[in-house]
Amino acid sequence: MDSGADNRVVFASSNEGKLRELRVLLRPLALEVIAQTELGIDPVEETGKTFVENAILKARHAWRSSGLPAIADDSGLCVDALDGRPGVFSARYAGAGASAGQMIDRLLAELSSTPDDQRTAAFHCAAVFTAGDDAQDLIAEARWPGSILRSRDGDGGFGYDPVFYDPASGKSAARMSTQEKNAVSHRGRAFLQLLDLLQARKSAP
């Protein structure tokens, strides 16, 4: 990688919501975050059994395809009443190519008879930075506990945000600003941990 590319990092996602949140979080490092789709990189098949495994797969695929340092995350919603589903299949819960609305519809249908006090859930996120085969991957994980609402509330955010209730704020994730969400969410806190790890690596002798 040439020195002129030192401030560039590839984000192994085409999700505009995730990209927007990540760019805000990485401002302190003055990194230019480029979506892998901008470089013509197709997504890698997510064959991992855990969030960490999938995040590593995505980060290393983006790095090998671009030659640039890469960041990836794998996130999902784990619902206690569904034995942890949809979990690592959160983005494909209603089938390949399904919309966020279709995934929410399936989730609500499966929880339709679940009492309010048994609708607990948590978002999980594993975030990974890789700069090549010879460099140790940086890995951070976080979770965001809450519960599943009976219907959509708000039109902000993305994914399952409209039906995820954050008890600390008394809001659905879809009603939170980007700043509010980054401060408490699984992805925001995982990426903040990753930011600390990146800053420590940059300052190491």
Helices (H), the chain: 16-25, 51-66, 100-110, 178-184, 186-203
| Per annotation, catalytic residue among 6, 73, 74, 137 | 74
Is there a contact between 71 and 129 (Cβ–Cβ < 8 Å)? yes
Is-contact 13 35, C-beta < 8 A? Answer: yes
Measured distance CA(129)–CA(202) in Å, rounded? 13
Residue 83 a catalytic site member: no
d(CA 113, CA 119): 10
Just list the catalytic residues.
74
